[in-house]
């Protein structure tokens, strides 16, 4: 044990002797890890947020389409759909996007009948239950500097200002879900948006058996040719494709940085400087065994890798969760320019750490130990002569 510690001490002082060269390696190495970790953490956080949305998503959503454009659906369609075998509750939904001219951002308005639309946690207050009441998301409250007990003024479909009392403010485990959300009673929303009598934005359909969803969707399409049924798995696939595509694009851009890192590692792996070679020769001449030399090189590699890994990881965590991924967000989110600013829910898994470590630390340590082994097994005299 003592021997190992002595070798470790020697390794650390050896690193210190060449501190500027090693510092340069740590900076490049740490930066590479920070970028890689940022992309990984961010894609995962985004996917987590999207999954949160889908927890409460209905099995099947039926929209009406007029010449390929989304149109309001007659509420009577619900009766016939409810009669199909395997179908449970069919309820009309009222919701829409609202461009807020004061803050130049988009809000999402959702109407409720009874009970919350998804599993949402209220930060404070309650859900709207009387006319002219609403509950707002954190982002909306911040943008319009309002909150529980205050008012929210909106412009209705006929251009008149309407005042709502804010009775609740949301806090969901996923902020993308409630950040830009304003919840009203269905009747208020119908009036605000000017939705004609007997129409709804779409219908949410409950299907008991997951295996039967596509059959029900096909039947709905057959009975009402002017509708477009969207299954939950389709929504899931879309989200997945969007995020995979975006993170793939980022990885492509980042490939250059990864290539640079590979060249650095390759450089270390193939060439070992004359000075290092001489040092190994001296150690061997002093009576160090090949095993000791390899252990020394292993400690050196491990110290550099772990320092860079930790620095890179901390930089990535600060970037994603404290600074809201300010450098990457515009690329990955895309449509978020009009979106009230939001923060990711911090999360990191052992799996992510393992992937990162395996992609960076292991190749580096291996590439520092391999050439030293070549130098260490040759005769010390030959090594010192060059």
SS3 content of the chain, % helix, strand, coil (to 5): 55, 20, 25
Closest separation in Å from C-beta 73 to another protein: 24
* Beta carbon of residue 207, minimum distance to another protein (angstroms, whole number): 9
Between 48 and 86, CB nearer to another protein: 86
Cross-strand bridge partners of residue 93: 202
Nearer to another protein, 132 or 215 (CB): 215
Interaxial angle between packed helices 290-317 and 274-285, expressed in degrees from 0 to 180 and rounded to the nearest 10: 130
Taking residues 128 to 167 in sequence order and writing x for each that binds another protein by CB under 8 A, - otherwise, the string is: ----------------------------------------
The DSSP 8-state label assigned to residue 210 in this structure reads: G
Nearer to another protein, 215 or 345 (CB): 215
- Minimum Å gap between C-beta 57 and another protein is 19
> What's the closest the beta carbon of residue 90 comes to another protein, in angstroms?
15
Cα distance between residue 137 and residue 175, in whole Å: 9
Q: Give the Cβ contact number of residue 40 at 10 Å.
A: 21
**Of 120 and 205, CB closest to another protein:** 205
Q: Which is nearer to another protein, 80 or 379 (CB)?
A: 80
Q: Helix, strand, or coil here: 288?
A: coil
CA pseudo-torsion sign 37, 42, 43, 45: positive
Shortest spacing between CB 59 and another protein, in angstroms: 12
Would you state the structure tokens that stand for residue 98, as one six-digit string?
């609202």
Contact 163, 153 (CB under 8 A): yes
State the DSSP string of 59-84.
Answer: SEEEEEEETTEEEPEETTHHHHHHTS
Residues from 200 through 259 that contact another protein (CB under 8 A): 208-212, 215, 219
Does residue 96 bind another protein (CB under 8 A)? no
CB of 325 to another protein, least distance (A): 38
For the segment 47-86, give every residue that binds another protein (CB under 8 A): 85-86
Q: Which residues contact 165 (CB under 8 A, 6 or more apart)?
A: 132, 133, 134, 151, 152
Shortest distance in whole angstroms from residue 208 CB to another protein: 5
Count of residues in contact with another protein, rule CB under 8 A: 9
Asked if 181 and 137 touch (Cβ cutoff 8 Å), the reply is yes
Q: Which residues bind another protein (CB under 8 A)?
A: 85-86, 208-212, 215, 219
């Amino acid at each position: 044990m003592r021997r190992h510690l002595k070798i470790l001490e020697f390794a650390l002082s050896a690193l210190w002797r060449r501190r500027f060269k090693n510092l340069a390696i740590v900076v490049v190495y740490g930066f590479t890890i920070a970028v890689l970790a940022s992309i990984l953490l961010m894609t995962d956080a985004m996917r987590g947020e999207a999954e949160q949305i889908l927890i409460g998503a209905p099995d099947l959503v039926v929209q009406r389409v007029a010449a390929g454009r989304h149109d309001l659906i007659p509420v009577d369609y619900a009766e016939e759909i409810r009669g199909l075998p395997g179908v449970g509750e069919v309820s009309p939904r009222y919701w829409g996007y609202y461009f807020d001219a004061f803050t130049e951002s988009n809000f999402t308005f959702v109407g409720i009948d009874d009970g919350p639309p998804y599993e949402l946690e209220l930060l404070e207050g309650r859900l709207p239950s009387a006319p002219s009441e609403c509950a707002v998301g954190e982002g909306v409250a911040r943008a319009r500097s309002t909150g529980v007990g205050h008012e929210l003024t909106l412009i209705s479909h006929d251009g008149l200002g309407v005042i709502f009392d804010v009775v609740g403010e949301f806090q969901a485990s996923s902020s993308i879900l409630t950040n830009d959300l304003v919840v009203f009673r269905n009747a208020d929303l119908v009036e605000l948006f000017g939705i004609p009598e007997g129409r709804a934005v779409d219908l949410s359909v409950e299907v008991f058996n997951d295996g039967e969803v596509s059959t029900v969707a096909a039947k709905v399409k057959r009975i009402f040719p002017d509708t477009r049924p969207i299954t939950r798995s389709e929504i899931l696939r879309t989200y997945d494709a969007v995020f995979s595509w975006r993170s793939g694009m980022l990885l492509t851009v980042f490939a250059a940085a990864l290539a640079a890192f590979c060249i650095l590692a390759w450089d270390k792996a193939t060439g070992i400087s004359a000075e290092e070679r001489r040092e190994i020769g001296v150690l061997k001449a002093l009576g160090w065994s090949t095993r000791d030399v390899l252990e020394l090189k292993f400690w050196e590699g491990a110290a550099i890798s772990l320092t860079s890994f930790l620095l890179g990881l901390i930089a990535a965590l600060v970037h994603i969760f404290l600074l809201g991924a300010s450098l990457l967000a515009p690329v990955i989110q895309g449509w978020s320019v009009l979106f009230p600013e939001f923060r990711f829910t911090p999360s990191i898994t052992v799996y992510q750490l393992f992937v990162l470590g395996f992609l960076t630390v292991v190749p580096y340590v291996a590439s520092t130990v391999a050439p030293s082994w070549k130098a260490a097994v040759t005769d010390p005299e030959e090594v010192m002569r060059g």
